[in-house]
Amino acid sequence: MVRAVQIVKDESGQRAELTEIPDDDIGEGDVTIAVDYSAVNFKDGLGVTGIVPVVQRFPIVAGIDLAGTVVEAPTESGFAPGDQVAVNGWGLAVDHNGGFATDARVPSGWLTRIPARFTTWQAMAIGTAGYTAALSVVALQRRGVTPRRGPVLVTGAAGGVGSVAIALLAALGHEVHASTGRPTEEAYLRALGAREIIPRSELSEPAAAALGAERWAAAVDTVGSHTLVNVLAQIRYGGTVANCGLAQGLDLPGSVAPFILRAVTLVGIDSVNAPVSSRDEAWNLLDKHLDDALLEKMTSTVPLDQAAEVAQQVLTGTVRGRTVVDVNA
């Protein structure tokens, strides 16, 4: 039997339960993994609560991330027993059992080989949030965003994606401005590398005008909705915004003015189905530029029986940085 947090749905609603499932039910695939750690992401909160119907079958093991050691894999997969691997996104906790379990079975095409300098705990301290942040930074680099172009804004700065994005951008030499609704986190954000703190309220209300003063060369936005509209309106000519989140909403109630009058580029970041080449590029960036001490500073660890509770808290915007789940605790 495998210990797991399972999402179930019945006439009383959708909820997460700590349970045990048969080994034969851990998932479909050609690789079996002894899971060390998972992590809690915004999407896990959506899955556990059912606020947004991200789960496509019930019951299902929660957790869109996992890291551990290969137990069994076919030779042609390129992986072997003992390899340390991570799985981020794909179908985990959507239509395939996820990472909130002591064991997992997945298709070999979903595996990412963890860079040698990272432990499995560090791989999950990064997790989908950190890997998404890296994808966003890579997107800015591809469009010529350099430190000389001007400051870069990060919204939802105290969350998982925001925390890693700040650390990466600062390590690359950018002047980082951090937008947050949690003024008590100013010291934390500055320790990660933020130079200026922008109150969430400056960006979260409906836009007063289609264009505002040009403030930032680029941005990593985790929020969407009115915040994204206001960010776009204040990006400098030729700048780029990488959007990877929807914490405020799915809507985009704005104008095309930033695109046609300032040549601003809006890039969508998908971490769930990103090709292996994009994943490798993001993990290479993390390998080269993410500071271990900052990663530890932004991360806490909880046992498996607390994972669902933390997932719900993430939706309220009260969880700082990253939360690793020790599935064997």
- According to the model, what pLDDT value does residue 317 have? 86
What is the per-residue pLDDT for 13? 85
Q: Is the peptide bond before 199 cis (omega within 30 degrees of 0)?
A: no
Domain ranges of the chain: 2-114+298-326, 128-268
Q: Report CA-CA distances (Å) from 322 to 24, 129, 160.
A: 31, 8, 5
The CATH number for 128-268, chosen from 3.40.50.720, 3.30.70.1170, 1.20.1060.10, 2.60.40.10, is 3.40.50.720
CATH placement of domain 2-114+298-326: 3.90.180.10
**pLDDT on residue 12:** 85
pTM equals 0.95
Per-residue pLDDT of the chain (329 residues; tens, 9 = 90+): 999 999 999 988 899 999 999 999 899 999 999 999 999 999 999 999 998 899 999 999 999 999 999 999 999 999 999 999 999 999 999 999 999 999 999 999 999 999 999 999 999 999 999 999 999 999 999 999 999 999 999 999 999 999 999 999 999 999 999 999 999 999 999 999 999 999 999 999 999 999 999 999 999 999 999 999 999 999 999 999 999 999 999 999 999 999 999 999 999 999 999 999 999 999 999 999 999 999 999 999 999 999 999 999 999 988 999 999 999 99
